[in-house]
Structure 1
Amino acid sequence: MQVWDELDVKTFLDFSKTDRFYIVYLLALTTGMRKGELLGLKWQDVDFTNKTISVKRAVTRKKGGGFEIGSLKTGHSYRNISLFDYVIKELEEYKHEQRKFKMKNRKTYKDEGLITASSSGSFILPRNLDRSWLSALDESMLKKIRFHDMRHTHATLLLKQGTHPKVVQERLGHYSVTVTLDLYSHVSPTIQKTAAENFGDKIFGTQSAQTK
């Protein structure tokens, strides 16, 4: 597991702003969704009023070969994720640009309601996303991570910032909070330190530092 820090995340998102798959990278880093879940998202899954996104399906590999949009791995994978205001704004702008593309290509575009779609309206193959991701990663000159590590980055940063593990579990769609804590045990020392400092500040304020 390799993860980025906050500066890495900001740098990559700024760098990839004009990338075809920018909205995918943005959602991966700010929601912790899996690759297949991201590619299976539809506009009907976004609640712009309540600022949430519902994970209901994913692009998965078929038994006989190839890919399809199918059900999620487990019941816990079906979930609602709260979105940051900035992400909502970016989704609104992306939807507007996509609408213009659909109108311009309405004779050839088969609209399936997908947030991320090919030029014909069908879902994106994971390997095509991977190809663009690796290219953007190389050009960004940032620390090399896997696509799935953007999910780990989201969880790690939330935990370091003091977010309750139960909330992180729900955002990631893990079976239980124990799974989340075990997977991100490397963050525990930081959480402990932050908790101790916050606890002390709330009770003693700056007095503890002044008495040293």
Structure 2
Amino acid sequence: MQSIKMPKSTNKQKKDFYRKHEIPKLFALLEEYPLRHQLIVKFALFGGLRRGEIAGIASDVIDFESNQVEIKRSLQQSTKGLRLKDTKTEDRRIITLPEQFMKDLYNYYIKKLDLKKEMANLWKGFEDVNGKEVFLLFSDEYGIPHRPDTLTQFWNRFVKRHKNELRRVRFHDLRHSSASLILSEGVNMKIVQKRLGHKDIQTTLNLYSHITEEDDKKASDVFDNFM
């Protein structure tokens, strides 16, 4: 057996996602929660962002006039504590988000600025790994960011509380929900690749083959009228 290679582990969590008809229910349940939590979930769903990317969003990457956000940093938990790192070049991208979402984000941003003024000298703020001070949106009252895993913890509590009203998926599956939904609406696969920050389009194709299979069925249905 020494000359035989060990097989690769296939113990991967199954990807799931919310369907189009489930989204309104999700949003209705979220209305009971603080705006911060609503924005975090919608960033994952509307933008297809990873939790570290959401936790690392700062004011300098947001363009409220064009409704766009540049994804160029990610907050990571390391043995040395929280680190705000630049994302890999292939992961950097600019995404356009819904107008109403950006209005809600702007209102949240203004309140965050007001909090900073109220805290005055107590405000500590945060720096990225290059030593640049950044104004993180999802931070505590001192400007210190919350750990990325707290996003998952909130989501787990949320879906557990509403287990009888909403199907349970992982927080990361909101990213899959985003891609699956826009693909099902006919958005080009290349655009989906760009929004998700995949270096290779084959990665996107492999992850969302279930959508292309559904499209293939639709393509076949076109010819049913001729039979």
Specify the alignment match of 1:147 in structure 2: 171
CA RMSD of aligned residues (A): 2.2
Separation in 2 of the partners of 1:90 and 1:11? 19
Match among 16, 19, 41 for residue 5 of structure 1: 19
Unaligned runs of 5+ in 1: 201-207
Cα distance in structure 2, aligned partners of 1:190 and 1:29: 21
Matches within 5 A, 1:88-103: 88-103=102-117
Is 1:115 the counterpart of 2:130? The answer is no
Match of residue 211 from structure 2: 187
Q: Which runs of 5+ in 2 are unaligned?
A: 1-14, 126-133
Identity of aligned residues (%): 26
Give the deviation of 1:60 after TM superposition.
Answer: 1.5
Q: Secondary structure at the match of 2:113?
A: helix
**For 1:131-176, what per-residue CA distance to the aligned partner results, in whole angstroms no more than 9, with x for missing partners?**
2221112223311111110100000101111100000000000012
Q: Which stretch of structure 1 is more off in the superposition, 113-122 or 26-35?
A: 113-122
One-letter amino acid of the counterpart of residue 161, structure 1: E
Structure 1 runs, 4 residues or longer, greater than 3 Å off: 193-197
For 1:72-91, list aligned pairs within 5 A.
72=87, 74-91=88-105
CA drift at 1:68: 1.0
- Preserved CA contact (<8 Å) 2:77 2:147: no
CA distance in 2, matches of 1:57, 1:125: 14
- Identify if the C-alpha distance between structure 1 residues 183 and 192 changes in structure 2 by more than 3 Å, giving closer, same or farther: same
Shift of 1:107: 3.8
Give me the TM-score of the superposition, normalised by structure 1: 0.85
1:68 — aligned with what? 83
Alignment match, 1:173: 197
- SS at 1:106's partner residue? helix
User: What displacement does 1:109 show?
Assistant: 2.4
Figure out how many residues of one structure are paired with residues of the other and give that number.
Answer: 201
For residues 91 and 38 of structure 2, what CA distance do their matches in structure 1 show? 23
Give the SS at the match of 1:67.
strand
